[in-house]
Amino acid sequence: MITVASKLGSVIEEEMENEIGIMYDGWTHGTMHYVAVYGIYVVGDRLLRSLLAHSPLDGGSQDADAHIDFFRNVLAVYNKTVYMIVFMIADNCNIDRSIATKLGVPLVGCASHRFNLAVKKFLTEHESLLQKVNNLMQQLRYPNNAAQLAKLTPLLDKTRNVTYWASTYEMQERYVNLRAHVRQIEAVEDSLPSTSEHKKLCALLVQLTKLDSVCKRLQSDTTSMGEVRLLFDSVLLDYPIMGKSLKTNSKIVHSPIFENGLVKVGAGEKLSAAETTALKRFEGQQSTQRPSETGR
């Protein structure tokens, strides 16, 4: 296995050459923060995405400098430096924007992350009802209630994770499917949403179903940045409350001129002077699909 890893590392090192993009994400489990880093580069007419590292972030700090040091150590394994990074793909959070600024490279922000922030904003209007459904689902986990529910249906309860809006959609869908059964469980009868509340929740589920279809499209490997823009603009027509995250000039967009230029390149439109300057470094790319033309 060590030999295979060494040979594979040598292949990746040679393929990446001296100009690369990096895509990374991090997550915390317990007290440990993990980071996964991918190299994004073109070989011939192929866009490649290779896992470079998947490791804990040592040292305790999780700030921008700590991540840059981590990238520096990872790239050194492949005889590369952080000065060879020409763009980043990551979330739109403060740390990731700071990393891109410190490295002096454009950041292509994760479209799914922006959409998640936008939908969470929309859901704040319905928080009291959603909390009521979540409380009901939690009560259905109590042993006696769970046993009664199991006699009525094979479906289980589902609670939500407030950091991930799709779990709210899944909880809503499960609530609607369980309601007729739950009404037969006396212990939770008082916790059921009223008839008027149920109608509102059903209407909300219709909206969440539409938004979920957008979410799935954003996660497709074939979705271009131009299509992301069209999806966001379409959503904003129905949900202007999401503008803070989805507008082209949103404050969370680190490199709006760069991203606008990429959308125009994909559509074959003329670039402004500022967009031309932002994309000048990538003029030599001859790939049919440039590393930064696809959404994440």
Q: What is the pLDDT of residues 148-195, one digit of tens each?
A: 999 999 999 999 987 788 899 999 999 999 999 999 999 998 999 999
Looking only at the bridges linking them, the beta strands covering 46-56 and 20-29 are unpaired
For 2-105, the fitting CATH number among 3.30.420, 1.10.287, 2.60.120, 3.30.1660 is: 3.30.420
Q: What is the 8-class DSSP label of residue 158?
A: -
pLDDT at 291: 43
pLDDT higher than 50, residue 278: yes
**Could you tell me which of 38, 39, 71 has the C-alpha nearest to residue 57?**
71
User: What residue ranges do the domains of the chain occupy?
Assistant: 2-105, 118-217
* pLDDT tier for residue 281 given thresholds of 50, 70 and 90: confident
The dihedral through the CA atoms of 78, 291, 71, 115 has a sign that is negative
pLDDT at 47: 87
- Mean pLDDT taken over the chain: 89
127 residue type, one letter = E
Phi, psi of 269 (to 5 degrees): -95, 160
- Cβ atoms within 10 Å, residue 87: 24
- Contact call for residues 141 and 154 (beta carbons, < 8 A): no
Q: Report pLDDT digits (tens) over 98-157.
A: 999 999 999 999 999 999 999 999 999 999 999 999 999 999 999 999 999 999 999 999
Q: Report pLDDT digits (tens) over 24-35.
A: 998 887 778 889
- Contact call for residues 292 and 107 (beta carbons, < 8 A): no
**Could you tell me which of 201, 216, 195 has the C-alpha nearest to residue 168?**
201
pLDDT at 292: 42
* pLDDT tier for residue 2 given thresholds of 50, 70 and 90: low
How long is the chain? Answer: 296
